[in-house]
Structure formats: structure tokens, C-alpha cells
Amino acid sequence: MSTTKPIAVVTGGAGFIGSHMVDLLLASGYRVRILDNLQGGHLSNLAHVAKNPDVVLEQGDIRTLEPESALFQDVQQVYHFAGIGDIVPSMEQPIDYMATNVQGTVRVLEAARHGGKGSLQRFVYAASSSCYGLAATPTREEFPMQPQYPYALSKNLGEQVVMHWRQVYGMPVNSMRIFNAYGPRVRTTGAYGAVFGVFFRQKLAGTPYTVVGDGTQTRDFIYVTDVVRAFYMAACSPHEGEIFNVGANNPQSVLRLVELLGGEVVFVPKRPGEPDCTWAETGKINQLVGWYPQVDFSTGVRNMLQNIERWQDAPLWDVQSIAKATESWFKYLGKEG
């Protein structure tokens, strides 16, 4: 292993976005140290770099990470993706979400602060656009925080922690509010969630796509390679202490995704607490960092379809199983007032 290459740590580096971050860093000449507990991440996402001498994978949990962790020794850049997602489980297990996404972030910050003493150039936090809640669109970074469920709250609190570590300890940080990321290796868990995993499995099975509401709701889908390029450019930028939206600034309807995939649809009830539109106003990152997305939506979907068999083992959802899986959603978020 070369000793002259700069060092980057990627937490959650076996996950969807994290593994693409690893790819970009290796291509950019870094030694990459990965911390992942392999709960949401998968070794298959790193199989193509498993024998690369510049990659180190430590299987561990950020909730037990120690400040003196050797993994962070002499690190130049830290990319913090590790955490737990999904909306419904966050309502059912809020303690786990706060412990991982908030306190876990504190532990990663402390490991970076101690290990990166004299070497750390940037700590980049993976925040979530869910912090905006039911926001006006297009949504700018200074808009109010209106988290609608514990996952969104936990990610927003994590961002506050990151900014606080800058204020108190002078850590060089940036926070990236990711909108609707998609692309190869997109996360599929046992929980009902992101539309791509649901629809791709349904396409493989030849069953109807379960479209929420009337399908006219729009999402600012942003391709994963564009996301990690935004993170890397923000890490290398002279601008720090900043919060950036990371989206395509070009919302697409769920019905448009169905059109690109082809097939029949069946409709399921619209869910409370979900915006009709997510739309990142990206002027800030365009101007300060010089980042613009490069992969348009139809190209991104086409790229994913080339490896659709990866979703063969994903859960197959239908109207009945979705109703069962979203009971907590309606129970907790369906109240008036």
C-alpha cells in the first residue's frame, strides 16, 4: 500500500451511496478506509475493490466507535454516510434511530477530531432533504426545518451536531442534504420504502407497480454518481461550514418512472406527511462549488435496468402487504391538527 496517497474514511462505505464514494475516491488517488457494520451495507457492493491494496474495510458499528480509533489516524477527508434509514421503522424504533444517527454521528466526529488532528481537511456529512418536511418548492437551504417523522429528525439533529463541532472545535465541515438518490446498488431492505427497489422487484415479477396516490407527485431524483461527485467537490472546495442541497433541480413524477419502466399500475392510498413535490434549489452548490448533475433521469433509469436482476431477492410488495407495512405511518402521521 502506498504511503504517499492521501487518506479518506468512508463510514457506511459498503452501502448504496457510500460504495460509490469509495469508487470515486480510489479513482482520485486516495487510500480508503471503510467502516460499516454490514446491516444496511453489503460486501457485494465492494466486491470489485476487495483486492485493491488501497482499501481497508473494518466491520464495526459507529455506536461503539472510540475517539482513538486507528481507522481515523492521519485522515484527510471523512465522508459520513453510516446510519439507518426508512420512515416507518423510525416511528416504531425511535431510540435506535437517535442512537445511530445522532449519537453515532457524535462518535464519528470525535474519532475524526482525534485521529485527524493536524491532518483533517474536511468532514462531509450526508444529511437528508427529509428535514424540510412539507416545504415550499423549489426548496432552498435556508428554508425552515419541519421533520415529519423520527428518521428526518435524527438526520437533522446529526447535521446540527456536525455544525456544532465546527463551532466549538473548529472542525472543517460541510453538510449535504441529499434529495431522492437513485442508481446502481440502491438500498433494498425488508422495510417498505424507496420506489426503485419496490418497482424493480415488481417489474421482475410481472406484477403491477404500486403507485402511491395518483402518481402525479414528483421527486427530485438525483443519480448516485452525481451525488458522490458533489460530496467530493465539497470536500475539496475552499468553502466550509456550509450546507448544500444535492438534487437535480428537475423533479420527475412517479408516473414518469412507470412510463420508463413499462407495465401496469395499481394505486395505493396517499400517505400523510409526504410532500407532493421534492425539488432542490441548487444555486448555492452550483455557484460556490461548481457542481452540476450530469446524468439525466431517463439515462439513469436505463443504466439501472441493465442490472435489474440485482433486485431479484428484494421484497415483492402488493396492495395488501403495503397496507400492513404502513399501518404505523397512518397511525402516527394520520392525525388531524
Q: Which residues are catalytic?
A: 151
174 beta partners: 124, 242
* SS3 category, 182: strand
SS3 string, 11-72, reads ECCCCHHHHHHHHHHHHCCCEEEEEECCCCCCHHHHHHHCCCCCEEEEECCHHHCCCCCHHH
User: What distances in angstroms separate CA 179 from CA 11, 34, 106, 194, one per listed residue?
Assistant: 19, 24, 23, 12
* SS3 category, 143: coil
Query: Cβ atoms within 10 A of the Cβ of 192, count?
Result: 20
Q: At what angle do helices 254-261 and 297-305 cross, to 10 degrees?
A: 50
Cell of 99: 442512537
Instruction: Read off the amino acid at residue 191.
Output: A
